[in-house]
Amino acid sequence: MEEAVGKLWHRWITGLVRDDYPEAAVELAEIEKALGLYFRALGGEAGIGLHASHASQSQKRGGFLRRVAYAEEKIELTWVDDENLHLPQRLSVFPEQQLNQDLYYWLTALAAQDKGQNLPWFNKNQLLSQHVLDNYAGLHETYERLVEAQIALWTEYKGAKECKQALIQALQQPNSVEHLPFCADSTPAMYLWLHPEPPCALASQVVKKRPDKQAKRKNKQTQQAKDTRRRQAERVENQDSKSGLLAFRLESLFSLADFIKVDRTCDEEQDISQAQQALDDVDKLSISRDQEDTEAATLSVDLELSRLDYDAPLAEAEIYLPEWHYKKAMMQPDYCCLNQQPIAIKDDASAEIPAKLRPFARRLRQQFAALQPQKQWYKAQADGCEIDLEAYMHQRSDALLGKDTGEHKLYQDYRGKQRDLSCLLLADLSLSTDAWVNNEARVIDVIKDSLCLFAEALSASGDQFALYGFHSNSRHDVQLQSIKSFSERHQPVVQQRIASLSPQNYTRMGAAIRQATRLLSEQKSEQRLLLLLTDGKPNDIDVYEGRYGIEDTRMSLLEARRQGLQVFCITIDEKANDYLPHIFGQQRYVLIHNPADLPKELPLLYLHLTRSY
């Protein structure tokens, strides 16, 4: 009863001090695509993604009710870093919906002009505002309406008048105020400017361990709370709590943002909204690796973690490959260690096609066998197996008429037209493929079935093809595993290798694509096709996370196209539309919405891509 009354009181008192306008709210998801185009059109970098920001803490206090409710105003602000543009997930600060939508576009315009100028927040935002107004005259009217609405929100501000007046002047006449007067209280919320102190990833004090080769997965239904905001987090060491409760002095109490592991029973009926509320209450999350798996429900959250310093000397490897550093705009030679070797066959790996795939495999073989060209007679040839009587009669007639050119093609030959095509399929074998697609199969199982059917189909077509898988554990250990090379025939051992595939480590795409490009470029075929099969974006244990990996992958694909290769990506990542257009281009990838359909879709997609060959 006490808890229920407390919840009712909290809901009522916080509702009284609420100062936004839910009825005029605009969601980022509604205009996200338009804002992305707008950002790039106004000069924003093409490689920067767009994400919802997390709430920032404000020290604002105002009035007796707010103090009673202990309501600290948490607002979502805008900032841009090297990898992402962070916008509020929802804007409801103004009483009119059109004003909130205009605010989204204004903040995006400011962020597009932010090139990392090293200026104080007060001066920087004035400079950016003036730059936007000088270069885009059509925004003047919108900006004036936003300024008027922003000033109207400050009517109840009880802070220093000098501070308020300086802010108003800075809004109405950007670049006219050099210094912001000292404010004893916190400054009022400024919605028209970028974040005063953009969050950055915390330094990590934990050396990341090599991930388990066989991750434990449970086939159970989990509740997912849809939350697209990217939250600040830090890695911490896992605390051992076997020793029970500890006595401590009151002044050494931990704050809410500190990490402490406490053993407690798990309520199977727990409400996921409570976990979501707890997540919203902390400014920074502390995470650690825990072997226990006792949660009744899970939350899917995007985190911004610091990159680990993992720069040991390179080990001995078969192949050293370069890598693109987008900030330095340069190629780093011999930066990655790559080992290329056949997949080790497990003892229980079957050489037979799984029974569930056999009917479809038979249909594919029949369908792809039709791609093999039928033999036909080629007339008027310089050489051939028989004399072409029609060409002979034409030659004799021309000779009698004095029109003999001296070029005699008097033979006909019976042969087939060759499909001069080579294809290399590169499959992502990282740990993310250990996730469950449905109650029956994991992503790695779907990839195995896809490779099996793909190999059956292409062996029937007569096209040259190769199958490889890849995974990585930093730049020191990139593994390219051969399932079938170009020089091998399709035989039972290929199926055994497919059955032996297992998820491992991370996804350093750039190095794998560069080596696959080398292998495919050695083929003398007229047409060469590189297919990439993946379930997520590039990532690794070191600096390869985020935009660094995306830009390196994009550069490796540009290198492949310069060598005359056709490159195409097949993905099952639902968020692929956020980054694949920048990496591959709009028409050079496809998203399989239902991963279970991948085995049947992959051969048909290949048929569609090569129909003109």
Mind giving me the DSSP string for 347-407? TT--SSPPGGGHHHHHHHHHHHHTTSPPEEEEEEESS-SEE-HHHHHHHHHHHHTT---S-
Residue 294 confidence (pLDDT) above 80: no
Domain end among 119, 149, 172 = 172
Question: Does residue 403 sit in the same domain as residue 500?
Answer: no
**Per-residue pLDDT, 355:** 92
- Asked if residue 380 is part of any domain, the answer here is yes
**What's phi and psi for 91, nearest 5 deg?**
-115, 125
**What's phi and psi for 363, nearest 5 deg?**
-65, -40
- Looking at per-residue pLDDT, the higher value among 98 and 242 belongs to 98
Query: What is residue 59's three-state secondary structure?
Result: coil
Point out which residues pair with 218 in neighbouring strands: none
CA distance 196 to 124: 10
Question: Does residue 401 sit in the same domain as residue 447?
Answer: no
User: The domain containing residue 94 runs over which residues?
Assistant: 2-172
CB atoms within 10 A of CB 102: 21
- Dihedral, 582, 585, 586, 589 alpha carbons, nearest 10: -100
Question: Does residue 91 sit in the same domain as residue 147?
Answer: yes
Residue 515 confidence (pLDDT) above 90: yes
- Looking at per-residue pLDDT, the higher value among 154 and 270 belongs to 154
- Asked if residue 547 is part of any domain, the answer here is yes
Per-residue pLDDT tens over the stretch 466-491: 999 999 999 999 999 999 999 999 99
CB within 8 Å of 183: residues ≥ 6 apart: 159, 160, 163
Catalogue the E-assigned strands of 417-512.
Answer: 421-428, 464-472, 478-484
Tokens describing residue 52: 């919802």
- Looking at per-residue pLDDT, the higher value among 255 and 115 belongs to 115
- Asked if residue 234 is part of any domain, the answer here is no
**Per-residue pLDDT, 241:** 46
CA distance 237 to 252: 20
- Asked if residue 262 is part of any domain, the answer here is no
Question: Does residue 572 sit in the same domain as residue 593?
Answer: yes
CA distance 285 to 453: 44
Domain end among 125, 154, 172 = 172
CA distance 580 to 82: 18
**Per-residue pLDDT, 160:** 67
- Asked if residue 353 is part of any domain, the answer here is yes
Lowest mean pLDDT among 280-284, 363-367, 437-441, 453-457: 280-284
3-state secondary structure 76-132: CCCEECCCEEEEECEECCCCCHHHHHHHHHHHHHHHHHCCCCCCCHHHHHHHHHHHH
Q: At what angle do helices 97-113 and 28-41 cross, to 10 degrees?
A: 40
Question: How many CA atoms lie within 13 Å of 124's alpha carbon, on the beta-carbon side?
Answer: 17
483 near 498, Cβ under 8 Å?
A: yes
**Quick one: which of 442, 423, 415, 569 has its CA closest to 490?**
423
- Which letter, b or e, does each residue of 204-233 get, where b requires 16 or more Cβ atoms within 10 Å of its Cβ? eeeeeeebeeeeeeeeeeeeeeebebbbbb
**Quick one: which of 468, 483, 382 has its CA closest to 426?**
468
Question: Does residue 391 sit in the same domain as residue 481?
Answer: no
Question: Does residue 19 sit in the same domain as residue 49?
Answer: yes
CB within 8 Å of 156: residues ≥ 6 apart: 62, 63
- Asked if residue 91 is part of any domain, the answer here is yes
169 near 93, Cβ under 8 Å?
A: no
Q: What residue type is 50 in one-letter code?
A: L
Question: Does residue 531 sit in the same domain as residue 385?
Answer: no
Domain end among 416, 438, 473 = 416
Residue 354 confidence (pLDDT) above 70: yes
Listing DSSP states for 138-155 in one string gives GGHHHHHHHHHHHHHTTT
Question: Does residue 382 sit in the same domain as residue 503?
Answer: no
CA distance 446 to 329: 38
Question: Does residue 428 sit in the same domain as residue 408?
Answer: no
Q: At what angle do helices 443-461 and 598-609 cross, to 10 degrees?
A: 40
**Per-residue pLDDT, 26:** 93
Number of H helices, E strands in the chain: 16, 21
354 near 441, Cβ under 8 Å?
A: no
Tokens 């916190």, located at residue: 186
**Per-residue pLDDT, 412:** 79
276 near 225, Cβ under 8 Å?
A: yes
Output DSSP code: residue 442: B
**Per-residue pLDDT, 370:** 76
- Looking at per-residue pLDDT, the higher value among 289 and 325 belongs to 325
256 near 281, Cβ under 8 Å?
A: yes
**Per-residue pLDDT, 560:** 96
Q: What residue type is 181 in one-letter code?
A: P
- Asked if residue 287 is part of any domain, the answer here is no
State the average pLDDT for the chain. 79
CA distance 66 to 71: 5
**Per-residue pLDDT, 212:** 42
- CA end-to-end span of the chain: 74
pLDDT-derived band at 200 (thresholds 50, 70, 90) equals low
Question: Does residue 570 sit in the same domain as residue 518?
Answer: yes
Question: Does residue 499 sit in the same domain as residue 604?
Answer: yes
- Provide, rounded to the nearest whole percent, the portion of the chain with pLDDT above 90: 43
Tokens 């036909």, located at residue: 376
Lowest mean pLDDT among 78-92, 149-163, 267-281: 267-281
Residue 97's Cβ-count burial label (10 Å; 0-12, 13-18, 19+) is: middle
**Per-residue pLDDT, 574:** 86
Tokens describing residue 258: 């500190």
Output DSSP code: residue 284: S
Residue 606's Cβ-count burial label (10 Å; 0-12, 13-18, 19+) is: buried
- Asked if residue 238 is part of any domain, the answer here is no
Of 240-249, 262-271, 396-405, 495-504, the range with the highest mean pLDDT is 495-504
Question: Does residue 454 sit in the same domain as residue 531?
Answer: yes
CATH number at residue 540: 3.40.50.410
Q: What residue type is 62 in one-letter code?
A: G
The sign one gets for the Cα dihedral 537, 542, 548, 552 is: negative
387 near 347, Cβ under 8 Å?
A: no
Q: How many domains does the chain have?
A: 3
